[in-house]
Structure 1
Amino acid sequence: MPVSTYRLQFNKQFTFAEATQFVSYLHQLGISHCYASPYLKARPGSNHGYDIVDHNQLNPEIGSEADFEALIAELRQYGMGLITDIVPNHMAIMGSDNIWWLDVLENGQASYYASFFDIDWQPVKKTLQHKILLPVLGSHYGNILEQQELTLSFDVEQGEFSIYYYQHRFPVDPQTYPLILSSQHEWLSNEFAADDPVFLEYQSIENSFSKLPLRTETKEEKTEERKRDKEVFKKHLARLCADNPAIIRFISFRTAEFKRVAGENGQMHALLEQQVYRLAYWRVAGDEINYRRFFDINDLAGLRIDDEKVFEATHRFILSLIEQGKTQGLRIDHADGLYDPVAYYQRLNQKITALLNLNDDQGLPPIYIVAEKIVANYEYLSSNWPIHGTTGYEFANIVNGVFIDGVAEKPLLHCYTRFIGHWQDFEELVYLAKKHVMNTALASELNVLANQLTRIADVSSKTRDYTLNALRNALLEVVACFPVYRTYINSQTVSKEDSQYINWAVTQAMHRVGSADKNVFSFIRDILLLDHGKVVPVKDLLKFVMKFQQYTAPVMAKGHEDTALYQYNRLISLNEVGGDPRRFGYSVNAFHHFNQERLKKWPHTLLCLSTHDSKHSADVRARINVLSEIPAQWADAIRRWRQMNKPQKTKNKRAVIARNDEYLLYQVLIGTWPLKNLDDSARSEYRQRLQNYMIKAVREAKVHTSWLDPSEDYEQGVMLFIEHCLDNNISQRFLQDFCEFEARIRKPGLYNALAQTLLHLTAPGVPDIYQGHELWQFTLVDPDNRRPIDFNENSRLLIALDTALALPGCNRARLIESLLHNMDNGLIKLFVVLQTLRFRHQYPALFKSGDYLKINIHGTASDHLLAFARKDREQFVIIVVPRLITQLLNNQCGEPSSVWEDIWLELPNQAPSLYLELFSQTRLATEPAGDYVQFFIGDSLKIFNLGLFSGTAGDN
């Protein structure tokens, strides 16, 4: 079981070899397991690894097998493990590097890999039956033909034809090779005599290709025959070409001839019409695409991982690494995209258990396994998932909420509404955003579901009058009202929770449509709850329900995460993956409750503060949260800034930055403003980062521009506004005012970041540190948060800190004072991480299974502290952190030293009487007080506002 993990983002800029160099640094930091981003073969140039093209090879851009072995050896030397991020839901397609997908394009349903991908071979549109729509063209198909952007190519060595569209390769169906080989062509009759052996062999090869089994064949004997014979005939053709330059010249002549007549009267169009694929303009994907994608990304195709054959082919390599002891854990990407997540985890566990010759009587995962899964704040992860937990989005949001002052909800809402000039209701934004997504990017998938539902309705005389349009509209409303990412129905039994979510969605949908036929919604409810089994076999209902479940998840992701969270900017530190702006912070009691529940149900789940998916890093959120403590000052500040920056808006009305986006920008500036003065180069880089973020944000919001329909005018206006605002020659007044405001809230923001770090490293679960976040990281949404980390510099800082700590007679109070005085360099955060992780390693059982106790706090400023204890038979440890301390800092000229003087903790009588505070090395004792003991901690908090007090159980 990991004690602590450290997420590394592998790509060609950060390889196995480079990671190997810094294993010793991670060990020194206190990390037990490296938690690696996907490192299997991905699309060339990938900076994240989720676009895998081969599940059975290492990514050559990351390193060779020898490089990987060296990394494993280095980890073993330090007693460390490896957790691997795997991607079972989808693969990268298009391009020319996924051999499984290329085989499907060449052979259609006769391909061995046709069942690997989630392709609908029988769509409603007749012209697409037995075909795959490939929305890859930059313009309409007819235009591409006219402009002759498609090229027919011949691989002489392989004896095979392909059609290319820039970097995209589309294999030609070998059965249609005769359309190209054209043995009756006049050119050949001029070159060869009718009885020439070379010409006769050429004719024989052409004839052989024409007699191949059809690509629609699915019988095993026929598909095997096609697979075998097509390769034999290709080799014959390649050999004939190698021996006869005249044949090569003719084929070159023929491939060029396909471009001579453009448009639909040309040979290129005729050849394409005979292929298994239909090339199309990328914009048609939303309406007609007939393969499941990862969300709405056309070049990521869904895998049918529920098929045993597909599971074996995609997991062979990673299972071998587990068997060899080269990886000790797995992170399963995009759990909600799987057809049946629970069945997937069960199969995975069974395979690993068998490989490792383990006993699975308890049904526990044989190795550490977590799922990337978003859990709503009113949702619980089902205990029947055979995993150790999730990747921790819910924890990140709960911890973040502790540092938001709930009293500010109404003032900040008023401030936001007044600034943007209109009211925004987040629930309504999500509803409308989900409908927009379903009517555009994910319309095709909705049409497929509607057609399946129509076929079910047609079975009964009571429901056959429900029209396709009525069913589609009702489905759209139900999905738009769905309160969670998905349900997990996989048998005839529907859980209480799933039933509640379905009933809620249907009821809400019925309320919204008003006078529409409510019977349609009742019918949908019955289907989703499998209550229509007397009319239609339950297995048929279940097929629909399980496809429905696969659809609600991407709709929620695109509508909630990637649209509404970029539209509703009241306080953007709430707008995080798995977050919900309607929940304006969490109380201390709520925080304790969540920790206690986690310890009971998922004690080993991963805990994160920042990930590669974060919209804003934890340190950014910590600074923005301070605004909730000073809503009046914030309202005054942004009112001034808007006035000051009016001249920076271009006169072109189409390009004026919208008030909502301007409001977003000011918060982003608060969260990311550099702690040190920048030179010209660094200032330019910072401006570019902000511009890149804002363009992504406004496109995701889909109000003034979008990925589908980018508005160059609006985006240029946003870019110029940022450029002018950050130019001291243009916006001196604004920059001076902004910097004065930011300086006043910087320290409480950094204390927030330190406090949440200590909570992260001591709460129930396994803490994961995202690369570089042992120091300050004020990063934004990807790709900003995937920028390279200077591990050499981080290592130098760690060595310097360790050296200072190891000095004889090291005065901790002076060291902490120095670190706080130079807070901007991040060493104070490294100090907290280093000390806490090492302590955690010293007492792994305490944090793995120790009890969690809420600790009551007393004293003048008790509301500004949070405390809990972890205990087992050997240890009793108390964690104390400050919260909502902006006013305390301002009142105490920068440090709230005096307000902690009367602070004491109420401990149980069985608690130890003597404690050593980890950071300050202060020794403190408790005082008996009847039914409890008092623990005065003011002397320690005066030195450092955070505390980790360690006592030995039974030491009274």
Structure 2
Amino acid sequence: MIPRIPTATFRVQLREGVDFDTLAGRLDAIAGLGVSHLYLSPIFAARQGSTHGYDVTDPTRIDPALGGREGFEALARAARDRGLGIILDIVPNHTAFSVENPWLADVLARGRASPHARHFDIDWQAGPLVLPWLPQPFEQMLRQGDFHVADGQWHMGDLSIPLAQGSDATDDLRALHEAQHWRLVPAAKERDAITHRRFFNVTDLIGMRVEDARVFDDTHALITALVRQGLVQGLRVDHVDGLVDPAGYLARLADAVPGIPVWVEKILTGDEPLPPAWPVAGTTGYEAGCLLTRMLTRVDGIARLDAHWRQTTGIAEDFPQALMRAKHDVLDHELAAERRQMARLAERAVQPVTDADFGPETLREAVTALLTAIPRYRSYVTDRGADGEDRAMIAAVADRAARDLRCDRAVRVLAGIWAAPANAAQRDFVFRLQQVSGALLAKAQEDTAGFRWTRYLAANEVGAEPDHPAVDAAEALALLRARRPGDMVLTSSHDSKRSEDARARIIAASHLPDALTELDDQARGLAGDLDPQWRWYVLQTALALQGAPEAGDRIAAHLEKALREAKQTSFWTRPDAALEQAAGDLGRALLAEWDRDRPAALTALTDRGDALMLAQLVCKMLMPGFPDIYQGTEARFLALTDPDNRRPVAWRALTAPATGDDPSAVKHRWTRALLRLRADHRDWLARAEVDLTIDAGGLTLTRHEGERRLTAHLQLPQGAAARPDPAAILHWTGPDGCHVALLAHGPGWTRIDN
């Protein structure tokens, strides 16, 4: 019988050489690791050549490229035979905006008359569906003869678009184009012209209206069938905040698959709680991983790093200021289309309001002020209006938004509508506002400010707050005690900005700040004219990746992405080749220099990083909730943001014997040992209380009930070398005397490693 709440999960990224048959051949090794569930990336039919599966083209089919329905059923049976359940990553928010999507192709041919037109979130009031797929202006391509019509399709290079049923083929291609349910425009116009809801600013993904019961049923028929057949034992809901009504969606999902645990990809900010009414087992665990980073970070070290960073880079602003600038930049560019739509929706929403005669610029200004003032990903206002917590947040947002406006009347009116929408137009405004606010915070914080405000990259993580990199014991303990057995503990994922072990190297800089500043002084001589802001970023990144396979090529590719995501002088649409080359050259030079003549400061940081890697592992396995093991992280795993963290992993390491005192081998052995411990004491860990101390000597996390206790202990060097406690069932002492151990007291424990 597969347990309902996992002992632990093993996250597998399908595609890129891993299909169902390949994975079936690795089940013995995965089961042998000690997990209870496979946790799979999306399996549904996706765009040809998809590397991730989130660009679903047909939610009613399992992708033939992975092995199809037959292959998945064989995998599920093989997993069940080894005691493994399957958790499936599902994508209700969007599908691919592509002619490969059969439902969308039907809409292109039949327009609003298509039975699938209601499935997609399309603003038909704005006119025909805009397809921003042209590399050049329409008229120019028409003159060049780049279009032709044949077999009921409009052809452009390798692309074929269905023509409207009944439209006559004609030599007048301009007139034929005007007769379609769609309009081709240059890709550069997507910020001005799109008429569908996107996933963030990804135009090639189109929003689905799963709030409609029929759309839900159509998009979830296969999912519910797999659950009812016993092939799937849990679901992970991607980007729940993108939905119109997350609570309503989750309630409908719970009714469709009763008794099956559901986890939501939900980023909680500050002290924001997971909405208590949601029928879910928990989140996917970003907040848990960020808590672990904060627990291991040293406050005094951050202060010293901050002083050096500000002095060398000249950056004076704090993170909230950097984030606010990033929000405005993103609204001006990446989400300009969404803001234009919001202003139009606001105009319709205020029409019944007495004395609300606002012009378009006033409404645009008010929408901008509200969106940039929202501190969370979104509110959860429904047809019934806002609850007490959302009302309080909306009032605070309105006050914040009004501060810098010459007239706050429009902001106040829109905030009132937000809290209590009274008609369809007002609900349209509010629901769209809630979807756009999450996209804005994600793009502005994770993908813009997080690459600009570079003081301490360990805190620039998905779901983290860069200006709150550390935590005291009291706050951390309160967060730990609020966790439930069904909460996931995630330290690395396909979305992480840096893998857990790469992050541990940077955390080490908060323990040994002088070591990092010494390396920065050395890097200055290799940096040429590179801006110190980017020298500091490159240095931390090189530290995170040093010693990894193909590190030089990988750091150069990552820096290209980082510079473009920062959106300061290099952009995806207009790269700064000289800057990208200079950053990449510095990354390669640092790694090469360290290989030739390894500095003592680097050794100190990597040694401390190894200890923090193991301390993080033990705390992850011991804290309330259950651990998720991302593929490859059972041993040391050094990776940067995607696509680097989705590289093929060394699967042979799962079965290779892990011997010796090398920290990577120790991590591998400890992962297995701790997973066995979790399986043997599953019920006790679900009940046990938690305590925590953090002080100058290190960190101690304890689970206890009655006479039995387990204690994860990180002891930092304080003069005399650390000594193993005789009650330790796991222990390791690093070259610098930093000691990591798992201690057991009371009856019922057995030694699991030496």
TM-score (norm 1): 0.75
For 2:219 and 2:497, how far apart are their aligned partners in 1? 30
Pick which of 706-715 and 6-15 moved more. 706-715
Conserved 8 A contact 1:25-1:795: yes
The residue number in structure 2 matching 1:273 is 178
For 2:292 and 2:369, how far apart are their aligned partners in 1? 34
Deviation at 1:58, TM superposition (A): 1.2
Deviation at 1:540, TM superposition (A): 4.4
Which residue, out of 10, 13, 37, partners 1:33?
37
The residue type equivalent to 2:377 in the other structure is Y
In the alignment, is residue 707 of structure 1 matched against residue 538 of structure 2?
no
For 2:34 and 2:588, how far apart are their aligned partners in 1? 42
For 1:661 and 1:173, how far apart are their aligned partners in 2? 51
Conserved 8 A contact 1:835-1:918: no
Helix, strand or coil at the partner of 1:175: coil
Conserved 8 A contact 1:287-1:442: no
Query: After superposition, where does 1:857-872 map in structure 2 within 5 Å?
Result: 863-871=697-705
Query: After superposition, where does 1:431-442 map in structure 2 within 5 Å?
Result: 431-442=324-335
- The CA deviation string for residues 578-612 of structure 1, in whole angstroms up to 9 with x for no partner, is 0111102112332221110113xxx3111100010
Which residue, out of 518, 527, 535, partners 1:662?
535
Helix, strand or coil at the partner of 2:38: strand
Which residue, out of 745, 751, 760, partners 2:611?
751
Query: After superposition, where does 1:524-923 map in structure 2 within 5 Å?
Result: 524-530=414-420, 537-538=422-423, 540-599=425-484, 603-642=485-524, 644-646=525-527, 649=528, 656-674=529-547, 685-727=550-592, 732=593, 739-797=599-657, 819-820=660-661, 822-823=662-663, 826-847=664-685, 849-854=686-691, 863-871=697-705, 876-882=708-714, 885=716, 888=718, 896-898=721-723, 917-919=728-730
- The CA deviation string for residues 324-360 of structure 1, in whole angstroms up to 9 with x for no partner, is 000000000000000100000000111113xxxxxxx
In the alignment, is residue 85 of structure 1 matched against residue 89 of structure 2?
yes
Conserved 8 A contact 1:12-1:62: no
Helix, strand or coil at the partner of 1:71: helix
Change (3 A) 1:443 1:856: closer
Deviation at 1:736, TM superposition (A): 5.4
Residues paired across the two proteins, number: 744
For 1:944 and 1:703, how far apart are their aligned partners in 2? 43
The residue type equivalent to 1:172 in the other structure is L
For 1:782 and 1:794, how far apart are their aligned partners in 2? 22
The residue number in structure 2 matching 1:285 is 190
Deviation at 1:433, TM superposition (A): 1.1
For 1:482 and 1:829, how far apart are their aligned partners in 2? 41
Change (3 A) 1:469 1:945: same
The residue type equivalent to 2:229 in the other structure is Q
In the alignment, is residue 951 of structure 1 matched against residue 729 of structure 2?
no
- The CA deviation string for residues 341-392 of structure 1, in whole angstroms up to 9 with x for no partner, is 0000000111113xxxxxxxxxxxx111000010012211110111111000
The residue type equivalent to 1:670 in the other structure is L
For 1:74 and 1:60, how far apart are their aligned partners in 2? 19
- The CA deviation string for residues 96-117 of structure 1, in whole angstroms up to 9 with x for no partner, is 4111111111111011111110
The residue number in structure 1 matching 2:27 is 23
Helix, strand or coil at the partner of 2:501: helix
In the alignment, is residue 509 of structure 1 matched against residue 499 of structure 2?
no
The residue type equivalent to 2:722 in the other structure is S
TM-score (norm 2): 0.94
The residue number in structure 2 matching 1:112 is 115
For 1:167 and 1:828, how far apart are their aligned partners in 2? 52
The residue number in structure 2 matching 1:317 is 222
For 1:113 and 1:657, how far apart are their aligned partners in 2? 52
Deviation at 1:711, TM superposition (A): 2.5
The residue type equivalent to 2:106 in the other structure is D
For 1:747 and 1:718, how far apart are their aligned partners in 2? 26
The residue number in structure 1 matching 2:166 is 175
Which residue, out of 121, 140, 147, partners 1:143?
140
Report the RMSD for the aligned CA atoms in angstroms.
Answer: 2.4
- The CA deviation string for residues 899-946 of structure 1, in whole angstroms up to 9 with x for no partner, is x78xxxxxxxxxxxxx9543369xxxxxxxxxxxxxxxx9xx999621
Conserved 8 A contact 2:621-2:675: yes
For 2:650 and 2:10, how far apart are their aligned partners in 1? 15
Conserved 8 A contact 1:402-1:591: yes
Pick which of 624-633 and 862-871 moved more. 862-871
Pick which of 35-44 and 325-334 moved more. 35-44
For 1:738 and 1:273, how far apart are their aligned partners in 2? 66
The residue type equivalent to 1:866 in the other structure is T
Helix, strand or coil at the partner of 2:119: coil
Conserved 8 A contact 1:588-1:866: no
Change (3 A) 1:64 1:12: farther
For 1:547 and 1:703, how far apart are their aligned partners in 2? 28
Helix, strand or coil at the partner of 1:102: helix
- The CA deviation string for residues 522-578 of structure 1, in whole angstroms up to 9 with x for no partner, is 212211111xx7xxx355433321121011010111111110001110000100000
The residue type equivalent to 2:547 in the other structure is P
The residue type equivalent to 1:139 in the other structure is Q
- The CA deviation string for residues 23-43 of structure 1, in whole angstroms up to 9 with x for no partner, is 111111111000000011111
For 2:743 and 2:221, how far apart are their aligned partners in 1? 45
Helix, strand or coil at the partner of 2:740: coil
Which residue, out of 68, 75, 80, partners 2:79?
75
Conserved 8 A contact 1:83-1:331: yes
For 1:143 and 1:631, how far apart are their aligned partners in 2? 58
Conserved 8 A contact 2:20-2:66: yes
The residue type equivalent to 2:213 in the other structure is E
| Structure 2, gaps ≥5 residues long | none
Pick which of 702-711 and 663-672 moved more. 702-711
The residue type equivalent to 1:918 in the other structure is I
Conserved 8 A contact 1:510-1:521: yes
For 1:881 and 1:373, how far apart are their aligned partners in 2? 30
In the alignment, is residue 304 of structure 1 matched against residue 198 of structure 2?
no
Deviation at 1:137, TM superposition (A): 1.3
For 1:66 and 1:831, how far apart are their aligned partners in 2? 35
For 1:882 and 1:589, how far apart are their aligned partners in 2? 18
For 1:853 and 1:574, how far apart are their aligned partners in 2? 24
Helix, strand or coil at the partner of 2:395: helix
Pick which of 312-321 and 630-639 moved more. 630-639
Query: After superposition, where does 1:362-381 map in structure 2 within 5 Å?
Result: 366-381=259-274
| Structure 1, gaps ≥5 residues long | 124-128, 155-160, 181-257, 259-266, 354-365, 650-655, 676-681, 802-818, 902-914, 922-937
For 2:588 and 2:731, how far apart are their aligned partners in 1? 44
For 1:796 and 1:632, how far apart are their aligned partners in 2? 38
Deviation at 1:735, TM superposition (A): 6.1
Deviation at 1:151, TM superposition (A): 3.4
Conserved 8 A contact 1:919-1:948: yes
In the alignment, is residue 163 of structure 1 matched against residue 160 of structure 2?
no
Conserved 8 A contact 1:377-1:394: no
- The CA deviation string for residues 680-737 of structure 1, in whole angstroms up to 9 with x for no partner, is xx5xx3211101110111100001111233223332333344344445xxxx5x7656
Change (3 A) 1:475 1:862: closer
Which of the pair has more CA radius of gyration? 1
